[in-house]
């Protein structure tokens, strides 16, 4: 029973992890339009994880807040056609000035 509980805890704790391609550097936390995102940036790809509670107003409002958070936090523009995800996790390709 104890082993099953430890296995379940291990599997569930992995759900919040950013994944092997986004392990470093640490995320940048950005608040925008009532949402708080942890932004993981790896080259030209950004992954945003919503870390605050509350139901988003709408999917389009949430995605627009993510795009503005990337612009404010990373100074990069999001390629709109590459924006993928749900109401917790979004991934997109970016164009950065450097």
- Whole-angstrom distance, CA of residue 58 vs CA of residue 71: 20
pTM of the model: 0.75
Residue 81 CA neighbour count, 13 Å, CB half: 0
Q: 59-93, pLDDT tens digit by residue?
A: 999 999 999 999 999 999 999 899 999 999 999 99
Phi, psi of 40 (to 5 degrees): -105, 125
Q: 34-64, pLDDT tens digit by residue?
A: 999 999 998 899 999 999 988 878 999 999 9
Ordered by start, the domain boundaries in the chain are: 18-95
Query: 18-95, which class in CATH?
Result: alpha beta
């Amino acid at each position: 029973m104890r082993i099953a509980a430890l296995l379940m805890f291990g599997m569930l704790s992995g759900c919040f992890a950013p994944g092997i391609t986004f392990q470093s550097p640490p995320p940048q936390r950005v608040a925008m339009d009532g949402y708080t995102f942890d932004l993981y940036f790896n080259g030209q790809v950004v992954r945003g994880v919503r870390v605050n509670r509350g139901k988003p107003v709408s999917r389009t409002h949430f995605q627009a807040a993510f795009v503005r958070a990337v612009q404010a936090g990373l100074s990069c523009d999001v390629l709109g056609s590459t924006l993928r995800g749900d109401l917790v996790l979004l991934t997109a390709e970016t164009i950065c000035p450097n």
